[in-house]
Amino acid sequence: MNLTIEDTPEGIPGVVARLRAEFATGRTRPLAWRLDRLAALRALLTEQAEVFQQALHADLGKSATEAHRTEIGFTLNELDHTVAHLEEWLRPKPAAVPEFFRPAEARVVRDPLGVVLIIAPWNYPLQLALAPLVGALAAGNTAVVKPSELAPATSAAIAELLPRYLGAETVAVVEGAVPETTALLEQRFDHIFYTGNGAVGRIVMAAAAKHLTPVTLELGGKSPVVVEPGADLAVTARRLARGKFLNAGQTCVAPDYVLAIGDTAAELEKELAAAVGELFGDDPSLSTDYGRIVNERHFDRLAALLGDGRTVTGGGHDRATRFLAPTVLADVAPTAPVMQAEIFGPILPVLTVPDLDAAIAFINERDKPLALYAFTESPESKRRLAEETSSGALSFGLPVSHLAMPELPFGGVGESGMGRYHGEYSIDTFSHSKAVVDKPLA
């Protein structure tokens, strides 16, 4: 990390002032400016892909394939979708005028907010810094990006390259840890976009309240999986394993635990063990497709959970290399430590419940999750899960994938967050929908 005066708490007010002065010129408002900045961001991602791949491998052990699919390619997909539709999204939307106000016209226009702050996490340190930035730029704003200090190689690459491609008057990158983030939160922004955990989310929201700054909080939680009798358990296990063990389980929407209904647990356990072997081989520590835990602190936290229940597969770990094998646990009690907080690692507990009523009750007794997944062939079960539970997203038969569909909103509810983004929803987040009425004077 190469700190400059701008990265210090003392220099941060000047950073924000510079970006606010640029916004005040009005240069960020035209569609041409927005498309130009998005083109520059696209050039950054394509021309510097190898640099980012190396950084992501250094931070999280990501393979080049995974880095492209979940970070670089993901962001390019979001960017290209935005570019293709931005002119349409920005058109003023006519509104009906009641008869007693006529003749008059009314419309809704989307105004840029100003200077936004994006605070990114470490688990997808490139995607979760730049995908929100796509929306911020497309909406006509300038931005401060705060990468995670827990992914130092990626943070350094973003800090070096982002202003070079987009211009320091458009985007500033502030590296650092708690002191720098605290200093940033003391400034007045026009929107704060935070991805991370609920504890820090509360700090962000409290700081934003001092300036009445709107916030988007992309948090997490324990995303449950319901598996009903009659589901194809081999297919279920393969899709679960891919979603759960992507990025070594360090994904906010990863399946957190399984509620296996009736007698499905025993067969599902066998299929999960087979799916892990199919994905990562007999020794996942040798697989180039399997990542590592971000640091020793998180490794120690996860290793302490391995004693809960019975190990179906996995359990191996090596602190020196931050390797923790894809692990499935069975016979886990609801009161076990592994069930008390989001796991955020490659450990998947399987619990048995007697029926769908019990599964729904189990989910509803806990905080609203960022995602809820279910494997069932029953239309009635799908209806009940949609109507009787609350979650940021609901997906049948395919975990995690909704995140990569730019026409779907992504966001949480309750403890799993507030606000939404991706595609046109990002334009909503980073714009003000302004009512305009025009009535002739004669």
Instruction: List the domain boundaries for the chain.
Output: 5-219+417-438, 224-404
Whose tokens are 């929107």? That residue is: 191
**Which tens digits make up the pLDDT trace of 385-396?**
999 999 999 999
Specify the 3-state DSSP secondary structure of 421. Answer: strand
Whose tokens are 């499905």? That residue is: 264
Q: CA-CA distance, 393 to 299, in Å (whole number)?
A: 28
Q: Is the Cβ–Cβ distance between 379 and 288 less than 8 Å?
A: no
- Categorize the per-residue pLDDT at 2 as very low, low, confident or very high, splitting at 50, 70 and 90: very low
Name which CATH class applies to 5-219+417-438.
alpha beta
Render 8-65 in DSSP notation, one character per residue.
STTTHHHHHHHHHHHHHTTTTSSHHHHHHHHHHHHHHHHHTHHHHHHHHHHHH---HH
Q: CA-CA distance, 442 to 76, in Å (whole number)?
A: 51
Q: Looking at residue 7, what is its pLDDT?
A: 59
Specify the 3-state DSSP secondary structure of 422. Answer: coil
Query: Facing residues of 394 across strands?
Result: 372
Q: Looking at residue 9, what is its pLDDT?
A: 80
Average pLDDT along the chain: 96
Residues 6+ apart with CB under 8 A from 442: none
In this prediction the pTM is 0.96
Does this chain's domain 5-219+417-438 share its CATH topology with 224-404?
A: no
Please, where are the H alpha helices in 63-211?
Answer: 64-67, 73-90, 127-138, 152-166, 178-185, 198-209
Query: Facing residues of 226 across strands?
Result: 259, 374
- The answer on pLDDT for 316 being more than 50 is yes
- The answer on pLDDT for 261 being more than 60 is yes
Q: Looking at residue 136, what is its pLDDT?
A: 98
Whether domain 224-404 has CATH 3.40.309.10: the reply is yes
- Categorize the per-residue pLDDT at 16 as very low, low, confident or very high, splitting at 50, 70 and 90: very high
Q: What is the pLDDT averaged over residues 418-432?
A: 98
Specify the 3-state DSSP secondary structure of 215. Answer: strand
- The answer on pLDDT for 176 being more than 60 is yes
Q: Looking at residue 1, what is its pLDDT?
A: 44
- The answer on pLDDT for 200 being more than 50 is yes
- The answer on pLDDT for 3 being more than 80 is no
- The answer on pLDDT for 405 being more than 50 is yes
Catalytic positions are: 218, 252
- Categorize the per-residue pLDDT at 442 as very low, low, confident or very high, splitting at 50, 70 and 90: confident
Query: Of the candidates 183, 162, 182, which has an alpha carbon nearest to the alpha carbon of residue 173?
Result: 162
**Which tens digits make up the pLDDT trace of 115-157?**
999 999 999 999 999 999 999 999 999 999 999 999 999 999 9
> What secondary structure letter does DSSP report for 287?
-
Q: Looking at residue 430, what is its pLDDT?
A: 98
Whose tokens are 């006519």? That residue is: 94
Q: Looking at residue 44, what is its pLDDT?
A: 98
Q: Looking at residue 6, what is its pLDDT?
A: 58
Q: What is the pLDDT averaged over residues 238-248?
A: 98
Q: Could you give the percent of the chain with pLDDT greater than 90?
A: 98
